[in-house]
Amino acid sequence: MPSPRLHIALPPWVDPFVDWERRYATIEDRMDLVIELGREQVRRATGGPFSAAVFERDTGSLVTVGVNLAVPSHNCVLHAEVVALMLAGARLHSHSLRAEGMPAHELVTSCEPCAMCLGAIFWSGVARLVTGATKGDAEAIGYDEGPVFAESYAYLERKGIEVVREVRRTGAQALLAAYVAGGGVIY
């Protein structure tokens, strides 16, 4: 039997939902988009309550967005952050977002990343990570973020990745709460 092939794509509602032309000037503007995306994902029940986006850090130009697709795609690694980073690589035709001649990029995510995503963020070449809800917020509704330690963040920061936490945390927490209230599966 041949090995299965993978095709990774966002749910069809995502592209028309996002304003791709807008410049998202502040990190709050960027997080607002990410949270709106997550809310729509929960409303449409197309995956877990996590969303992310890659921006050019200095211009606020939107590169890609991601939502959690793990359960519907039967793919344990398709967390929102990984989806956004994979799509960014595809859009920019580069395995690294820190390649020669590229502007600095950042990943904005509705929740502090799990252990896997933190690793992916390190390898992605982003210059900044912006998070909304905390690891504790995700754990409070039953998610396990895996082996993420203060030292993990310290390592990223030593390697030149700036970390900005708890941006629009209340809105990001509400996203998690809406998922639980809607009977969403915790996996």
Q: Which residues are catalytic?
A: 81
Interface residues with Zn ion (CB under 5 A) are: 79, 114, 117
Q: Give 117 or 175: the residue with its C-beta nearer to Zn ion.
A: 117
Q: Of 83 and 97, which CB lies nearer to Zn ion in the complex structure?
A: 83
Axis crossing angle, helix 80-92 with helix 115-124, rounded to the nearest 10: 20
Least CB distance from residue 124 to Zn ion, whole Å?
Answer: 13
Calpha distance 174→23 (Å, rounded): 25
Closest CA to 119 of 145, 93, 92, 87: 145
Identify which of residues 79 and 105 has a Cβ nearer to Zn ion in the complex: 79
CB of 111 to Zn ion, least distance (A): 9
The minimum distance between CB 157 and Zn ion, in angstroms, equals 19
Q: Which is nearer to Zn ion, 63 or 107 (CB)?
A: 107
Distance of CA 131 to the CA centre of its chain: 9
CB of 115 to Zn ion, least distance (A): 8
